[in-house]
Amino acid sequence: MSDLKKQLIKWADKYETPDFIKNDPIQFPHRFIQKQDIEISAFLTSYLAFGKRSQIIKKVNELHSIMENSPYAYIQAGNFSGFPQSKKKFYRFIAYQDLYELLCSLRSYYLNYPDLETALEAEKATHPVEGLQKLFGHIYYIPSAGSNSASKRLNMFLRWVCRQNSCVDLGIWKSIDPSCLLIPLDIHVHRLSLNLGITTRKSADFITATEINNYFKNIFPNDPGRGDFSLFGYAINNPGYYL
């Protein structure tokens, strides 16, 4: 095994620890026990997971407060008065109306299926990201099916709910094999991958995410998503990470 691959394993071991949770948006779905609460919290949190972590956590905390920290009950009630159909921004370019439409979509799926995992299975998509794009691609800032987007936030959501035996990820979905997950490609993962020579592609798109993911399949064959802790974990803990 190459020195780089050995180093990436060490980074994954170092950063995939319970201590990771307290400073990461994944802390929100960790608050819940019921599957539906976890799903909703995780999906809404991942939807807002762009920008600085501190700002993400601040706005996601506000979102959960509006839902009275009971996501499933809030969705079931269907009274989304906390999110008026207004173009006023809730977080950066995400408007209150965007969240209202997303909540309405979630409610429609929970009215027809026992949970979001079952709604996704019903799509019979070739890949879970494609299924999520079919369910939510009409919502602003969620890529539609067929897009060349890396779909970072959808892949992060899937990492959270699908990876098993992790002290960080929740692993509540059993129908999706973690070996098929795609690494969430954000600026840190992309930049560090370029620095390390894992990819030479300058575009942070689906092809680049797949290329990086394939590299990690050679390290973690059954769990390439673990590579996210190697790259994101190292980068976020070492701000001057140009190697």
Q: What is the pLDDT of residues 39-52, one digit of tens each?
A: 999 999 999 999 99
Q: Return the exposure string of 146-185: e unless at least 16 CB atoms fall within 10 Å of the residue's CB, then b.
A: eeebbbbbbbbbbbbbbbeebebbbebbeebebeebbbbb
| Residue 240: predicted pLDDT | 74
Ranges under pLDDT 50 in the chain: none
Q: pLDDT value at position 243?
A: 54
Alpha-carbon distances of 133 from 140, 142, 151, 166, 195, rounded to whole Å: 11, 7, 9, 26, 31
Sorted by sequence, the CB contacts under 8 Å of residue 78 that are 6+ apart come out as: 107
Sign of CA dihedral 27, 137, 180, 214: negative
At residue 149, what are phi and psi to the nearest 5 degrees? -65, 150
Q: Give pLDDT, residue 239.
A: 79
Which region holds residue 69: left if phi is over 0, alpha if psi is between -120 and 50, else beta?
Answer: left
